[in-house]
Amino acid sequence: AQKVTQAQTEISVVEKEDVTLDCVYETRDTTYYLFWYKQPPSGELVFLIRRNSFDEQNEISGRYSWNFQKSTSSFNFTITASQVVDSAVYFCALSPSSNDYKLSFGAGTTVTVRA
Amino acid sequence: KAGVTQTPRYLIKTRGQQVTLSCSPISGHRSVSWYQQTPGQGLQFLFEYFSETQRNKGNFPGRFSGRQFSNSRSEMNVSTLELGDSALYLCASSLDERLAGVRSSYNEQFFGPGTRLTVL
C-alpha cells in the first residue's frame, strides 16, 4: 500500500516570503516515483516535477526547489519569493516505478499568497 | 495545441441515475487516466486506458466503468449514482511514447479542467 501525507492543510504567506510544503510518504516498493502537482482555482492539475527514488539530488527550477530525503521518506517543496500567482492547492503524489500512471495523492496543501 | 477537454463541465443528477462523462485527450496522446476528487477522500485514481484497453484500475466498485475509442477519446460511466459520487472527475492524457512496446522516456500527464458532478 502507498500513502502520502501532507500535514499542512493551509499555509498563508505575504508576497516575497518563502514557503515550504512538507510531504512524507510510505511505500513498500523499492523503486518509486514522487511527484508534485499544482491545482490553481481553474481546477486542472499542473505537473511540476517527477523524481525517481534512486535520484536523491535536490532540484531547483526557477523559484521552485525540491528536497528529497529517502532516509526520512520526505519530498519537500519550497517556493522562494512567493507571488500571488502561486496561490493554489499543491499535491504531492507517489507511484510505483512499474506504473507511474497509478498515482497516490496526498490531501493537498492550500497556499494563499497575499499581496 | 489544444489541451485536454472534458464535457460536460457541470452535471446534476439524482440518486439511482447513471452518468457518462467524456474526455478528449491532447492530439497524439494515447493514454487516458481518470481520477475522482472529493473533499473527504481527496484525489483517487480510477482507471487508465491505452489503445482502447484498460491497463490499470483503482479501488472503485464496478459501478464505475470506462472505455476508450480508437481516436483515444475516453468516456467514463457511473451507474446507480450515490450521493457520495458527487465529485470533480479529472481526466489526464499522456503521450506514452514507446519503442518496440517499451516506454522510452517519461511523458507527463496533462490534466483537463474536470467535470463537476453533483448527485442529489
- Residues A47-85 pLDDT 10s: 999 998 988 888 888 999 999 999 999 999 999 999 999
Q: Which residue in chain A is spatially nearest to B9 when comparing CA positions?
A: A43
Task: Tell me the pLDDT of chain A averaged across its residues.
Answer: 93
Q: Which residue in chain B is spatially nearest to A100 when comparing CA positions?
A: B106
Q: Is B112 on the interface with A (CB under 8 A)?
A: yes
Mean pLDDT for each consecutive 10-residue tract of chain B (120 residues)?
A: 91 97 95 94 94 92 96 96 96 80 74 95
A35 pLDDT band, cuts 50/70/90, is very high
* Cβ within 8 Å, pair A45-B88: no
pLDDT attached to residue B10: 97
* Cβ within 8 Å, pair B106-A100: yes
Pairwise CA distance, residues B63 & B76, whole Å: 10
C-alpha cell at B101: 512496446
> How many residues are present in chain B?
120
Q: Which residue in chain B is spatially nearest to A48 when comparing CA positions?
A: B108
C-alpha cell at B16: 439511482
3-state secondary structure of A2: coil
Mutate to test the interface with B, among A101, A105, A109 (most CBs of B within 10 A): A101
Q: What is the dihedral of CA B35, A111, A40, A100, to 10 degrees?
A: -40
Q: Which residue in chain A is spatially nearest to B112 when comparing CA positions?
A: A44
* Cβ within 8 Å, pair B42-A105: yes
Of B44, B108, B112, the CB nearest to A47: B108
Pairwise CA distance, residues A50 & A35, whole Å: 5
State the nearest Cα–Cα gap between A36 and chain B, in angstroms: 12
Q: End-to-end CA distance of chain B, in Å?
A: 37
Pairwise CA distance, residues A68 & A112, whole Å: 24
- Residues B13-38 pLDDT 10s: 999 999 999 999 999 999 999 999 99
